[in-house]
Amino acid sequence: MRTYEIFLKRDGQEEYRHAGSIDAPDDELALLLARENYLRRAEGDLLWMVDRQHLLIGDRDFVAPNSDKPHRDNDGLLVAAHRKSQRESR
Amino acid sequence: MTSMTPGTAEFLLAFADDEHLMGQQHTEWIGVAPFLEEDMAFASIAQDELSHAALLYAIVADNGQGSPPDDRAIDALAFDRSAADYRSAQIVEVACTGWAHALVRHWLYDTAEELRWSLVEDSGLEPLKDAAAHAAREERFHVRHADGLIDVLLQAPDSADRLADAVRDLLPLATGLFDPAPGEAEAIEAGIASAPFDTVLPEWTDRVRARFPDIDIGTISAPAFASRTQRHGDFPALLARMNRVRGLDPTAVW
């Protein structure tokens, strides 16, 4: 058995969203089983499936360094405060 | 709107009974199919068959007038007739306790069903024509599903042997599907169906041979006995299971 990840999208709405995963022996059965397991109540109009072994995965160690860089989160508050004090001192 | 003769009603009941009992048999695999995804898929396909049965019973119940379906009238036809009044083929009545048999029956039945709907796709009975269009959209997936599983299992020697046994066991009963339903000639005369079901038996036979090329299945021919008026020995238990919950309170609204 292989494991497949399933993504569904409705026509005219939003993006593909992860719906779940299934085990299936091959691609053809994966498609058919996904149809009966995830689309039997018209949950989507379009289907993407990917064999999990074809996913490129960034693990925690790879992703983590980006969590400690507050200088990349500029919310503009300091600039706003500076401009306000400039205006009021005129 | 075309009105139905008693013969046409019998003809449609045979189709409805096959769909109903096939759906029921498939649903009984919920929870015990070989793997979770198949468990769900097989029951989902079963629901499609039950919905086809409901469409056909509804046509009989309102004499083909196309009025909104009356659930109680459908249930009365589906559950309340005596065993002798059912017109199902024995292939949908026999108990298949092994997965290989259930899968082979799924393939044999749906391959025949796809051909069967094609004989009423231009029916003069509007609700039946609509039902045929609805069912045809689903049947191609049913057959693909059965094909997909069989493709995989035929590659494993042990599984292939089990499938071969199932094919040999079930073929004689499956040909009973093509046994002319009572009223078929009348239905064709009335423009309800385009041709007798057994005119597609050679096409079905070709598909069976192409599907199982390594299995010597001998000659396939229509059964010599009137199988649709004789219940299989497994039928009473099936009917009892179908009515077990409903029988607790026949007046309940579902």
- pLDDT tens string B199-211: 999 999 999 999 9
- Residue B145 domain boundaries: 6-248
User: Each residue of A32-66: pLDDT tens digit?
Assistant: 999 999 999 989 999 999 999 999 999 988 887 76
Edge-to-edge strand list for the sheet holding A2-10 = A13-24, A2-10, A46-51
Using pLDDT thresholds of 50, 70 and 90, give the confidence band for residue A13.
Answer: confident
Please provide the distance, in angstroms rounded to a whole number, between the alpha carbons at the two ends of chain B: 31
- Which of helix, strand or coil describes residue B89? coil
Partners of A24 in the β-ladder: A2
CA dist B35 and B230 (Å) reads: 35
Q: Could you tell me if A35 lies within 8 Å of chain B, comparing CB atoms?
A: yes
Smallest CA–CA distance, residue A12 to chain B, in Å, is 23
Asked whether residue B186 is assigned to any structural domain, the reply reads yes
* Pick from B55, B79, B80: nearest CA to B69: B55
Asked, for residue B119, whether it belongs to a domain, the answer is yes
pLDDT number for residue B217:
80
B191 within some domain: yes
Classify residue B233: in a domain, yes or no: yes
Closest Cα in chain A, distance from residue B54 (Å): 18
Task: Output the pTM of the full model.
Answer: 0.90
Domain annotation covers residue B175: yes
Q: Is A37 on the interface with B (CB under 8 A)?
A: yes
CA distances from B11 to B128, B139, B169, B199, B239 (A): 12, 20, 27, 16, 21
Domains, chain A:
2-88 (3.10.20.520)
Interface test with A, best of B26, B30, B37 (most A CBs within 10 A): B37
